[in-house]
Structure 1
């Protein structure tokens, strides 16, 4: 598809150049032909670029997914409360519904599986990177749980942020305990992410805090100590990862936030003013009913407006026992090029704050 789009784009560009100099007909007709050819060439160039980006990051599997994503029903009510499953030892019966067969993916060192969650009913892909020489008998391993932005699928995200390079180097240097990295999709069923369970919508929160962790515990020798589990995300995934770290501190002992935002802007959490306000990260971190302290690293940049300001606002609402650090950068906009560069600093923070270190 991309090769065809490139050929058509080049052909239309050549036609536009030809018509600029040799368009037939009268003056008005020549101008009209030139304008149409130039506009068509520009539209095709943008479409081709979007197809190439989508191919790399696997945002949408097919055109219908994109249409569904932008036209889907958005709920107006409040989300339902989700209770996380208790953390169980990694050894599970062979007939457990969470025992699955991971296979090699198209990314170096990363295995994948398509799984239907017993709790959420969601069928999606889960990807797992393991460090060189991964040996279940030498565990348990720590877990970094990576959420992409929105739209965002599990494919290519770990490679985009440099998991294979940076995590392996940190483990080799002894600055990070032996760790596996997990990723899953954000736009479940092609819909804008909610990071919550809404009536009539995919149970995204149940998927992230119950089904995916249970799959990891059942198939990999990972720690059952929540402090060895760090949930992290970029952009919309940053907001969601921090929201889930604050609402499920019994599952995730730490959180890293790459260029997120305080107020939800996607899905059901953003549609109703009272729901939106209740799910601001400043409101969640200050929640008087939250009893378990949290560890958060909030990364932002002056070139990504609002990210540092929101991070500082969240930090200002910390409760006794919380550790909330803000890492501000002068340079770096909103994109994988900068998150790739910032990832080593996040790994250093995770290692320094790891209970096992």
Structure 2
């Protein structure tokens, strides 16, 4: 029985009522007075333990202090790893169509010297026109028959298409794991997500006339990459990753488009959009399609997720705890819960090798 389940509260409540009723009725009735007093004393102790346990479970259910029994058992550990839902490999390999669409005949991108490419991309479906940075594997060649897995990496707010190269140090982390044969050489695609650049738009498709950023990230960018780079288009070779606002975006894009992405990495993200006063595309009511907690409970897709949060992080942790409580198979979620730390880039950069190692071990396209 899960630590955060309603069933646990019901069982504890019924047990407490049963012990209380037995005390009131004087059960069990024993002939020896000493034995009777000892039994009542034990019953009172058990009742107190049950009442305290019920109160603790109710508080934990409301505030999400611990998300699972393993989290509770590791209360003094600096990091707790938990798992919810289906197996990650099963979720990442579920058959959901043919993977990423290629919007036309393959046309190799014209590349400048070096592994880091800065491109100007126009989305054919969304109409978004924005920069996209690409980190290529060492030795990448457009004429080679080798096809690479892809990580679509989403920055936070404020941020740019190069934020994963600077603050997150993704090239150093990935190269180190490739050198140790932990993960396959991979292409990292880093699109601009704040469109226009000064707006925290939460990556959503707003009403007509507003930016269609979800379509940009889930359809245009993957199609452009598949049409211009040597990539494996199967969903088990595609992952989306993000931190902070980009963590929300990665969770949303992955959960709403599991036909494209088999893997999903979320650093300190939320699971419902949090718009600022400067941009509220839906007014005061956000469409239900962007409630990922509800989605995980009512229509979970087969997706392998790795979710990191820190318990002192007031932006990420409360929603993470609620999301984990809702997770059901075929969705798979592995968590990396830190007891200390907050909401900052150095923390996420330090956890990036752990996330990439998980990706290599659980999403087959990235296995070395």
**TM-score between both structures, scaled by the size of structure 2:** 0.66
Report the counterpart of residue 307 of structure 1 in structure 2: 316
Report the counterpart of residue 137 of structure 2 in structure 1: 131
**Distance (whole Å) between structure 2 residues aligned to residue 89 and residue 274 of structure 1:** 32
Give the conservation status (yes or no) of the 8 Å contact 1:194–1:269: no
**Distance (whole Å) between structure 1 residues aligned to residue 289 and residue 145 of structure 2:** 43
Name which of 184, 203, 211 aligns with 1:195.
203
**Distance (whole Å) between structure 2 residues aligned to residue 133 and residue 312 of structure 1:** 42
Report the counterpart of residue 24 of structure 1 in structure 2: none
**Distance (whole Å) between structure 2 residues aligned to residue 102 and residue 135 of structure 1:** 10
Alignment of 1:1-357 (within 5 A): 87-88=100-101, 92-94=105-107, 100-103=109-112, 109-136=115-142, 137=144, 139-190=146-197, 191-198=199-206, 199-266=208-275, 267-268=279-280, 271-275=283-287, 278-288=289-299, 292-356=301-365, 357=367
The 3-state SS of whatever aligns with 1:320 is coil
CA apart distance, 1:355: 1.2
**Structure with bigger gyration radius:** 2
Give the conservation status (yes or no) of the 8 Å contact 1:233–1:257: yes
Give the conservation status (yes or no) of the 8 Å contact 1:293–1:319: no
**Distance (whole Å) between structure 2 residues aligned to residue 226 and residue 320 of structure 1:** 18
Change (3 A) 1:258 1:241: same
Change (3 A) 1:327 1:141: same
Give the conservation status (yes or no) of the 8 Å contact 2:151–2:186: yes
Give the conservation status (yes or no) of the 8 Å contact 1:127–1:183: yes
Change (3 A) 1:342 1:219: same
Q: Which runs of 5+ in 1 are unaligned?
A: 1-83
The 3-state SS of whatever aligns with 1:314 is helix
CA apart distance, 1:141: 0.7
Larger RCO of the pair (alpha carbons < 8 Å, separation 6+): 2
Give the conservation status (yes or no) of the 8 Å contact 2:99–2:233: no
Q: Which runs of 5+ in 2 are unaligned?
A: 1-96
Report the counterpart of residue 56 of structure 1 in structure 2: none
CA apart distance, 1:111: 0.6
Cα RMSD of the aligned pairs, angstroms, is 2.4
CA apart distance, 1:118: 1.4
**Size of the alignment, in residue pairs?**
264
Report the counterpart of residue 29 of structure 2 in structure 1: none
**Distance (whole Å) between structure 1 residues aligned to residue 304 and residue 323 of structure 2:** 12
The 3-state SS of whatever aligns with 2:167 is helix
